[in-house]
Every structure is written in structure tokens, then in C-alpha cells.
Amino acid sequence: MSGVIHTAPLVVPISRPPVRDGAVAVRGGRVVAVGPRREVLSGGGEEVRWPGVIVAGLVNAHTHLQFTRMAEVGRQVYDSFEEWSNAFDAVYFSSAGADWAAGAREGARLALRHGTTAVADVVTDIEAMPVPAQAGLAGISYLEVLGDTDESWQRTGRDHFVSTVGRLRGSEGMVGISPHAPYTLDTGVLADLAVLARRFRLRQHIHLLESAHEREYTVSGTGPIAQLVRELGFDFEILRAGGTGHGPVAFLDKLGLLGPHCHVAHGVHLDAEERALLRERGVSVALCPRSNRTLGLDGPPVAALLSEGNPIAVGTDSLASSPSLDLLEDVRVLHALAREQGYREPDLARRLVEAATAGGARALGLDGGPGRIGCLEAGTRGDFAVFGVDPDERDPYRTLIEDGPGRCVATVTAAHRNGRVHIVNPATEPRRGC
Ligand SMILES: [Zn+2]
């Protein structure tokens, strides 16, 4: 079997410059060649001709697919993280018996429909853990941990967590852990999770500096987040000690949580010193600007992160805080934000499309090895999206950002043997043969 050769007027492999009249050959779910159409076709194989642009599959570096059916929460606009958090909790805690796996399956379908082929999926309810892999998505399901004091963790939480992880590691898909945030776990639990992640060789993903009040909480144990934590009945060490004297990034770093095995979400309120520490630790930041907007927050400091060289990725977050799972919409918002924040370099569009592909792969630690994703080159998973946009004379990356949102016509994943078409949106059937 010589595989399938997908051709299009423009191919954007990410790891090399875009190829006009290009081709991607896929065999056994892996890319075997990328280049000019004539050249790749000379290697033999069935041709599938696509209109528009083929781009490496998008990587949604922060989402919660199980909350797809909580879109009612995400359709409102809030004044603060705390206001949104209360609205979210009211719906979540009244959802006893909800079929979270079914919600996650709907989310996976939406993600695929918009060209996403890999996710960092934070999972609160264990039944949603295997869903991304079952749906054909690459990436990692991060088991979320929150709401444990040091005492409850030692009493039952730790044993339960260790046995759950042991069970999950034998099932479908890659497993990671997500200590939810610096304010929803006691200090000793956060430190222990850092130890356990290393012991089990699990990647970590943490919400960080989404709320404007997170800093006040870790520095002095005061403010709206401290109040929220008290109202939830958690007697955390930070509250008893009157804070740690450190901002959230330094706090997590001292507990051993930050390193290249970890990526964080949001980072809306990162200051220059914190951005430098994250760079030093090799921690990617998944930016979710439309979710931030729903919560009434500022946009993340994308211009500074780009200028200073922090590794970044892009996430939609869940439908409980975002209008859609169309990752390119977030890229478009980041593009506008970066310009507003003063980023003037001509590489902006390219760097943001890279953030949504190769940047996501790096954030998840999937930019190397046999299952690598994030670009199209020999050896990567045969995951790509086709956007029905006019591959005109513009910068191809700008074309994708300006015209790509809502225009994915097909998503192809390695989960389908020989790179067969996974989803076709409108009536844009590919043409077969020359
Ligand atoms: Zn989130």
C-alpha cells in the first residue's frame, strides 16, 4: 500500500515555509513526504485533491471538553473571574448524574470540525478521560485535582489519586495531571503532586494567573480569592499563615511544580519577572483570549510574551467560558491584541499560527518522538486540517488568521488508517485522482 497523497493549492507544514501547489503523503497514519505536488506524486500513491489550504492539525492547548453542554454559562458576559466562577459552580454542582462523557464527545466533534487534531483536555469527572483518544484526537487528558487540604489528602485523597492514575494509565490515550490552580489545593498537596508527577512521569497542566486576585491570595492570603476559598470551607495553610510572601509563579516554582514537563493556562496577569521565570523553567503558556473576555478579564500579555521569547500555545478553554471551540478564532483575537499591545514585527501572523500548532505540541511535550504532532514532515502523525480559503498572494499565515475561522472544510487524523478523511464540513468533497 503506497498511501494517500493529499494535495492543495497551498500547504502550510509549519516546520518549513508554505508550499504552493503542495502535497502531503500519508501512509499508515504517518506523514511520509511533504513538498511540491509533482515531486511528491512521483513517489506514487492515490491523490486526493483539496481546495484551499492544508495546514498541520491545530492543537488546542487548554480546554475542558466535558463542559460542552454547559454553554449556557459561557454565553453570558461577566465582570470578574469570581463572578463567572460562582455562575459555573451553580450549574456544575446542580448537574448530578450528568453524562460528562457524552458532553466530552460533543466537544471532541466540535474541535475536529474546526480543524483541531490534538487537545490538552482538563478532566474533572473521570468518565471523560478516554474520550479525546476515542474520538481520534491526539494529546493528553489531564486528570484534575482540586479541593484537597493537606489533611484530607493524607487521609484519603492521595491513595485515591494514586490508584486512579494507576488504573487510567492502562487505558486509552495519554494521561496527565492537572493540579487545578494555586488557590484550590493546599500547599502540601501541590508539593506532593509535583513529586508524584515526576515519579509517574506524567505531564502537568495548571491554571495560572487567570484572576486578578490570585497574586494577593498567594502573597498575603487575603482578597476575593481568599474569601472564596474560605466560603468553600477550605482551611488552607496559606490562609492560616497570612500568605507566602510570593506571587503565584514563584510559589509554584518553590513547590517544584514548574519545569518543561508542565504548561500553564491563561497567564493573564503575568509580570515581567514571572515571564522570565517561566522562560527559564521552559514552561509554555496556553493563551485563551476569548475565554478571558467572557470573564471580563484583560487580554493576556501576548506582545510581551512574543517579544521576550516565551513559548506560547493557544487554547479555547471550554464552552462554559468561550463562544466556540474554533481555535483559529482565538488566534485572530490574539493577532489583534498583539497589535494593540504594540507588537510591530512582520512575523506576527506566522508566530501565532505556529503557537496554535507547533507551540501546542511543545506545551504537551509531543513535539518529538514517535507520536509527534504540530507540524507536517516525515514521521509526524498524519493529522491536518483543510481550510476553504483563497490561497491568494497574501502572507499564507495572515490568510489563515483572517479568513480561516469558521472555514475548516475537512479534518484528517492518523486515527483513520492511511489518512482517510475524518470529517468533511460543507459539500467540499475532495477530488480523487489526477
Ligand atoms: Zn480552564
Q: What is the pLDDT of residue 419?
A: 47
C-alpha cell at 131: 474520550
Task: List CB contacts of 281: < 8 A, sequence separation 6 or more.
Answer: 253, 258, 259, 260, 262
Q: Please state the rounded mean pLDDT for residues 113-129.
A: 96
Separation CA 232–CA 22 (nearest Å): 56
Other CB atoms within a 10 A radius of the CB of residue 1 amount to 9
Task: List CB contacts of 283: < 8 A, sequence separation 6 or more.
Answer: 258, 259, 260, 262, 263, 264, 311
371 C-alpha to center of ligand 1: Å?
25
121 C-alpha to center of ligand 1: Å?
9
434 C-alpha to center of ligand 1: Å?
45
225 C-alpha to center of ligand 1: Å?
16
Task: List CB contacts of 10: < 8 A, sequence separation 6 or more.
Answer: 18, 19, 20, 21, 22, 52, 53, 54, 391, 396
Q: Which residue has the higher pLDDT, 344 or 426?
A: 344
Q: What is the pLDDT of residue 428?
A: 56
Percent of the chain with pLDDT over 90: 88
118 C-alpha to center of ligand 1: Å?
16
287 C-alpha to center of ligand 1: Å?
11
Using 50, 70 and 90 to split pLDDT, how confident is the model at 427? Answer: very low
- Condensed to tens digits (0 to 9), the pLDDT of residues 249-278 reads 999 999 999 999 999 999 999 999 999 999
Helices in 44-146 by DSSP H: which ranges? 71-74, 81-92, 100-113, 131-134
309 C-alpha to center of ligand 1: Å?
24
44 C-alpha to center of ligand 1: Å?
45
Q: What is the pLDDT of residue 171?
A: 78
165 C-alpha to center of ligand 1: Å?
21
C-alpha cell at 120: 490538552
54 C-alpha to center of ligand 1: Å?
29
412 C-alpha to center of ligand 1: Å?
26
Bridge partners (DSSP) listed for residue 175: 141
63 C-alpha to center of ligand 1: Å?
6
Separation CA 58–CA 54 (nearest Å): 11
207 C-alpha to center of ligand 1: Å?
6
Torsion sign, CA atoms 343, 348, 349, 355: negative
Residues 385, 389, 394, 398, Cα dihedral to 10°: -50
Separation CA 395–CA 387 (nearest Å): 15
Domains and CATH numbers, the chain: 4-56+375-432 (2.30.40.10), 58-363 (3.20.20.140)
Q: What is the pLDDT of residue 433?
A: 56
201 C-alpha to center of ligand 1: Å?
23
317 C-alpha to center of ligand 1: Å?
5
CB 5 within 8 A of CB 382: no
Residue 391 has pLDDT above 80, yes or no: yes
Using the structure block, give the residue that is written with the C-alpha cell 469570581.
82
User: How high does pLDDT run on average in the chain?
Assistant: 94
Residue 1 has pLDDT above 80, yes or no: no
64 C-alpha to center of ligand 1: Å?
6
CB 117 within 8 A of CB 327: no
Residue positions counted in the chain: 434
Torsion sign, CA atoms 190, 192, 195, 197: negative
- Condensed to tens digits (0 to 9), the pLDDT of residues 392-425 reads 888 999 999 999 999 999 999 887 654 445 555 5
144 C-alpha to center of ligand 1: Å?
10
Residue 432 has pLDDT above 70, yes or no: no
62 C-alpha to center of ligand 1: Å?
6
Residue 65 has pLDDT above 60, yes or no: yes
| Pairing mode, strands 116-123 and 408-412 | unpaired
C-alpha cell at 2: 503506497
Q: What is the pLDDT of residue 426?
A: 46
318 C-alpha to center of ligand 1: Å?
7
- Condensed to tens digits (0 to 9), the pLDDT of residues 160-207 reads 999 999 999 877 889 999 999 999 999 999 999 999 999 999 999 999
> Cα separations (Å) of 330 from 133, 158, 393?
24, 36, 24
Q: What is the pLDDT of residue 94?
A: 92
198 C-alpha to center of ligand 1: Å?
23
88 C-alpha to center of ligand 1: Å?
12
292 C-alpha to center of ligand 1: Å?
10
Q: Please state the rounded mean pLDDT for residues 211-230.
A: 95
Q: What 3-state DSSP class applies to 109? A: helix
122 C-alpha to center of ligand 1: Å?
7
265 C-alpha to center of ligand 1: Å?
7
Using left for φ > 0, alpha for ψ between -120 and 50, and beta otherwise, residue 107 falls in: alpha
> 223-255 burial, b for 16+ CB within 10 Å, e for fewer?
bbbbebbeeeebebebbeeebbeebbbbbbbeb
Residue type at position 148 = D
384 C-alpha to center of ligand 1: Å?
25
267 C-alpha to center of ligand 1: Å?
11
Residue 430 has pLDDT above 90, yes or no: no
- Condensed to tens digits (0 to 9), the pLDDT of residues 21-54 reads 999 999 988 999 999 999 999 999 999 999 999 9
- Of 311, 328, 416, 362, the closest CA to residue 140 belongs to 362
370 C-alpha to center of ligand 1: Å?
28
Q: What is the pLDDT of residue 416?
A: 60
Q: What is the pLDDT of residue 414?
A: 82
Q: What is the pLDDT of residue 425?
A: 57
276 C-alpha to center of ligand 1: Å?
23
Q: What is the pLDDT of residue 434?
A: 43
Q: What is the pLDDT of residue 431?
A: 66
20 C-alpha to center of ligand 1: Å?
37
